[in-house]
Structure 1
Amino acid sequence: MHPSHGLRAVRVGSVTGAGLAGWQANSGRSLDFVRKVPVRYWCPQGHETVPVFADLTEAEIPQSWDCPKCGQTAGRERGLLVQHSGDEPFKSHLDYVKERRTPAEAAEALDRALTELRRHRTAPG
């Protein structure tokens, strides 16, 4: 790149001036920051989850949240059991797989996958 090139060491989307202060000076605008509201939820197993919501009223914040670690319904009070709002209880990916296959079909699929894996590992090249 030629040393006199005007875009050298300039980030894409940046404007002249010193960072945000330069942007504000050039545009005449200022940033309006959205208030962030962290909310704590605890599942029956004691896992704590803290999603962050954007400027919501207390009525808009959900009373329950799915735990990302175990999938159970977490509530906003520690130790309080919350019933899942849906009709169907939580199911893991494995639960859905077990619904689709019998144990014999699962064993057959596993054997096919292992055979294919071994074939690829022993193939020359």
Structure 2
Amino acid sequence: MANASNPFRGIRIGSTSGAGMAGWQAETGRLPVGVHKVAVTYRCPQGHETTPVFADLAEEEIPECWDCPRCGRTGSRHLDAAYAGTRAEPYKSHLDYAKERRTPAEAEEVLARALGELRRSRGETS
């Protein structure tokens, strides 16, 4: 129900204008065109399956391999065999890379310096 003081009007879902189109379709006279999509399944050497969706591409345009979002290894489109060109190094998280950059002693020093600055900014005495 619409109120005269309320600028929002109630409209039924799926209602159309007199031309048979609603909203931007009625204004422009254009109809939306759907894009055909193709789901492609990739399997990594550990058996994880990933199914990205691509726009309708030619067969040669769809990638043969895809990185697994779970383990980081390279998966193949061919479900019977895993991709032969797997990575030499396993998947590493951000923390793994951070641990490679510093020794435990350096990490302790950085942590102590950061805690000291935090305490100083709060006006705490140690």
Same fold (TM over 0.5): yes
1:109 to partner: Cα distance: 5.4
TM-score by length of 1: 0.63
- 8 Å contact from structure 2 (residues 41, 49) kept in 1: yes
- 8 Å contact from structure 1 (residues 41, 76) kept in 2: yes
Q: Which runs of 5+ in 2 are unaligned?
A: 116-126
One-letter code of the match for 1:17?
T
Matched with 2:82 is: 80
- 8 Å contact from structure 2 (residues 72, 90) kept in 1: no
- 8 Å contact from structure 1 (residues 64, 82) kept in 2: no
Q: Write the mapping of 1:25-44 to structure 2, written as runs, cut at 5 A.
A: 27-44=28-45
Q: Deviations over 1:20-52 (max 9, x none)?
A: 943445543211111101000001110000000
1:64 to partner: Cα distance: 0.9
Matched with 2:8 is: 8
Q: Deviations over 1:61-89 (max 9, x none)?
A: 1111111111111111223233158x987
One-letter code of the match for 2:84?
V
Larger radius of gyration: 2
What is the aligned-residue RMSD (CA, Å)? 4.0
Q: For 1:98, what is the secondary structure of its paired residue? A: helix
Q: For 1:53, what is the secondary structure of its paired residue? A: strand
One-letter code of the match for 1:80?
A
- 8 Å contact from structure 1 (residues 71, 92) kept in 2: no
- 2:84 and 2:9 mapped to 1: Cα distance? 54
Q: For 1:94, what is the secondary structure of its paired residue? A: helix
Matched with 2:97 is: 96
- 2:6 and 2:22 mapped to 1: Cα distance? 18
1:94 to partner: Cα distance: 3.0
- 8 Å contact from structure 1 (residues 43, 72) kept in 2: yes
Aligned residues: 113
- 8 Å contact from structure 1 (residues 65, 73) kept in 2: yes
TM-score by length of 2: 0.63
Matched with 1:118 is: none
